[in-house]
Amino acid sequence: MNPVWHAARAGVRRGRTELRQTFTTGQDLFGHALWTVLLIVPMFLVRDDPLKGAGISAGAFMLPSMVGMTLAFTGVMTTAQLLAAEREDGTLLRAKAVPHGMVGHLVGKIILVSGTALVSMALALIAGVFLVDGVARQGGQAWLTLLWVVPLGLLASLPIGAVIGALVESPRTVGLLMLPVMGLVVISGIYFPLTKLPEWLQIVGQVFPVYWLGLGVRSALLPADAVAAEIGESWRHLETAGVLSVWAVAGLLIAPSVLRRMARRESGSAVAERRRKAMQRVG
């Protein structure tokens, strides 16, 4: 068997194991539940407020938007956090020491993060459907749309997280990135339609995959009349597929080289130095 293929299969098994551990650990389960509550509370508060001209409530608009945001946020930030943490504690160095170990390690992380993102998305959606009217009643067409939007959104998000995780020095640096990420969420049409923002902010918001993920999920879960709240009063499926594909292709081209360069720099002395700095901060 090809050694790389064997490493990838080992990575799949590792990812499944880590995913099972995540969903059988109390602390991790609490984190998923807390994230779901944080998403649901603002939506619940505006669940009955009408969204002008769209024929739906503000809560109905926010639910699929937040589902899309969950995919993007988990794909980027969780991947970055895991890679940064494993650089600091020496896990990546140990993976590097095994033939094709980095391949298996990264495949495992893809399985773990993708599974976590899908479960988080499902929890938010299931909870929201019971609290908000007018969502997820589109039948089979909705599932067909989600079948291409969700995987494409993950492909667009995971490489970004991998690049960030390879470039930052520690998990604490990833935490500092939360502020600009949340700023990006605000201008991505998650909490209110993008059409309510100045035109230049609309342009900025449409550059990043968060907006397009939210738009794709809204097109699947909201009634047809809700398109009135969108730019050009269109779900823009072709544009959604195009922008997410560009981000996915760019990420898949850039991330491997960045990760290889990061792996080459890993050494026992580098890990020891990072641990020393971490201990100094704790002390």
Neighbours of 41 (CB within 10 A): 9
User: What are 100-147's pLDDT values in tens digits?
Assistant: 777 787 888 889 999 998 988 888 888 877 888 777 666 667 788 989
- 87 has pLDDT over 70: yes
Pairing state of beta strands 56-57 and 50-51?
Answer: antiparallel
The whole-number average pLDDT for the span 1-18 is: 82
- 258 has pLDDT over 90: no
The whole-number average pLDDT for the span 245-264 is: 86
Within 8 A by CB and 6+ apart from 100, the residues are 3, 4, 6, 7
d(CA 182, CA 184): 5
pLDDT, position 283: 54
pLDDT, position 41: 82
The whole-number average pLDDT for the span 10-24 is: 88
User: What is the sign, positive or negative, of the torsion defined by CA atoms of 210, 55, 136, 120?
Assistant: positive
Q: Are 231 and 195 in contact (CB under 8 A)?
A: yes
pLDDT, position 238: 95
The token pair that represents 249 in the structure block: 């292709």
pLDDT, position 135: 76
d(CA 183, CA 76): 15
The token pair that represents 233 in the structure block: 């009063």
d(CA 66, CA 47): 14
CA-nearest of 167, 159, 176, 126 to 247 is: 159
Model confidence at 17, pLDDT cuts 50, 70, 90, reads: very high
CA-nearest of 152, 143, 68, 154 to 113 is: 154
Helices (H), 46-78: 58-73
The whole-number average pLDDT for the span 1-16 is: 81
Length of the chain: 283
CA-nearest of 141, 277, 156 to 220 is: 141
- Phi, psi torsion values for 256, nearest 5 degrees: -60, -40
Which of the residue ranges 21-25, 80-84, 173-177, 191-195 would you say has the lowest mean pLDDT? 173-177
User: What are 135-178's pLDDT values in tens digits?
Assistant: 766 666 778 898 999 999 999 999 899 889 888 877 778 777 87
Which of the residue ranges 19-28, 33-42, 234-243 would you say has the lowest mean pLDDT? 33-42
Neighbours of 241 (CB within 10 A): 15
- 190 has pLDDT over 60: yes
d(CA 128, CA 131): 5
Give whole-number Cα distances, 186 to 133, 163, 182, 192, 199, in Å: 24, 23, 6, 8, 14
User: What's the predicted TM-score (pTM) here?
Assistant: 0.87
pLDDT, position 272: 67
pLDDT, position 196: 87
